[in-house]
Structure 1
């Protein structure tokens, strides 16, 4: 049986999806990076605010609020990016092909269009 967090996956399902363990490890790593980013982002923002407190006079509760919001936003962004990488890994493990990136396709077509306009 394969463990996914606290739940166990049946052997038949694990056999059908051989990359399940790697995907689970990737997601776990993404969530740990998010938690680490939250803690360090909050602490860094709070420390920065404390160091410039002489110029900006406002109550300590606002220091904490701003620090927690900043840490949360940074944590969300890191977790989202890392989870997207895990999604791409899962698709690769299941299909053997990498998903096409919409931004790359759009960027390529714009670049080709610009090259066509420059050539005589």
Structure 2
């Protein structure tokens, strides 16, 4: 049995997917970045609101609500981006190929690229 965090994975599954540990570590890192972003985003927003509240008086409950919402949105964004990086890592570890980069138009291209051409720009 192979242990990934608190979960145990059968040896046959771990042998079939050699990049499982790296993917699990990447996902764990992504979730920790999200938690850190939530805490710091909520704290920074609340602190900024306390500073602003000196001039404009409004109830404390709204400051807390807005701070938690801003922290949650920021945390979601960071976790989503980091999880996408982990998905790309998993695809590379499993197939040896990377998804194509986004073009200059901001729209992702369809298909796959070989690892040799993943860093080159299309002309």
Matched with 1:57 is 57
TM-score by length of 2: 0.81
Partners in 1 of 2:106 and 2:65 — Cα distance?
Answer: 39
Matched with 1:17 is 17
| Structure 1 runs, 4 residues or longer, greater than 6 Å off | none
Matched with 2:112 is none
Which has the larger helix fraction?
1
Equivalent pair of 1:2/1:21 in contact (CA under 8 Å): no
Partners in 2 of 1:46 and 1:28 — Cα distance?
Answer: 27
Gaps of 5+ in 1: 113-120
- Give secondary structure in 2 for the equivalent of 1:8: strand
Taking CA–CA contacts closer than 8 Å with sequence separation of 6 or more, which of the two structures ends up with the larger relative contact order? Answer: 1
Gaps of 5+ in 2: 108-121
Partners in 1 of 2:78 and 2:49 — Cα distance?
Answer: 22
CA RMSD for the aligned pairs?
Answer: 1.8
In the alignment, is residue 95 of structure 1 matched against residue 83 of structure 2?
A: no
Superposed CA deviations along residues 36-83 of structure 1, whole A, max 9, x for unmatched, are 000000000000000111222110000000000000000000000000
